[in-house]
């Protein structure tokens, strides 16, 4: 094999080895926040939010639930890599996404919290499936428990909270579709 071909193979192998994900921080943390984060949909200006005060005559079950017909960030339209990047951006730039209506697709996981209650997550993986970002699902009252291990689409209101010193995403009022 010619010397140039060997050198090319060596360089390509080195690049592949160096471009893998680390467990501490995904590669996106080394650069500034991405500028090509998904833009809000045209419907973002008129997002309907649930009424804050239900009248005393209404039972909680009959209170109007949001329909999520209008979404600020529809990540279900993007590849897994873009969803991963957008969710990572949400954790490092939370103010931009707080209280936005977000729709995303991912794999559903179920865990049990300290009180024995089930907690559901929608998980997005990067291209190599070595790194992931999970979004906790705070299911709305009329939503059934999602099937775990399957790809599904969920919609809800994004909130960011701190857990063990790290920003985490939560979809409040999540509707599993």
Go through the domains of the chain in sequence order and give each one's CATH number.
72-177 (2.40.50.140)
pLDDT average, residue stretch 138-160:
89
**Cβ neighbours of residue 87 closer than 8 Å, sequence gap 6 or more:** 75, 104, 124, 133, 135, 169
pTM for the complete prediction? Answer: 0.62
What's the confidence (pLDDT) of residue 162?
87
Question: pLDDT digits over 47-99, tens only?
Answer: 333 333 333 344 444 456 677 889 999 999 998 888 889 988 988 888 889 99
pLDDT average, residue stretch 124-134:
86
Question: pLDDT digits over 21-43, tens only?
Answer: 544 433 433 333 444 444 444 33
- In a 10 Å sphere around its CB, with 0-12 CB exposed, 13-18 middle and 19+ buried, how is residue 14 labelled? exposed
What share of the chain in percent tops pLDDT 90?
29
């Amino acid at each position: 094999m010619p010397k140039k071909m060997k050198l090319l193979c060596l360089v390509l192998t080195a690049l592949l080895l160096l471009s893998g994900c680390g467990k501490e921080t995904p590669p996106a943390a080394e650069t500034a926040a991405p500028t090509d984060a998904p833009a809000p949909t045209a419907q973002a200006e008129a997002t309907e939010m649930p009424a804050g005060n239900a009248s005393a005559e209404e039972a909680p079950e009959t209170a109007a639930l949001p329909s999520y017909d209008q979404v600020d960030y529809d990540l279900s339209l993007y590849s897994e890599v873009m969803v991963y990047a957008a969710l990572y951006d949400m954790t490092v730039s939370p103010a931009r996404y707080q209280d936005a209506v977000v729709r995303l697709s991912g794999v559903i996981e179920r865990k049990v919290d300290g009180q024995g209650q089930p907690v559901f997550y929608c998980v997005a993986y990067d291209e190599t499936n070595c790194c992931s970002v999970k979004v906790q699902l705070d299911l709305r009252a009329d939503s059934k428990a999602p099937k775990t291990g399957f790809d599904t689409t969920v919609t809800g209101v994004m909130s960011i909270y701190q857990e063990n010193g790290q920003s985490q995403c939560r979809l409040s009022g999540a509707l599993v579709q």
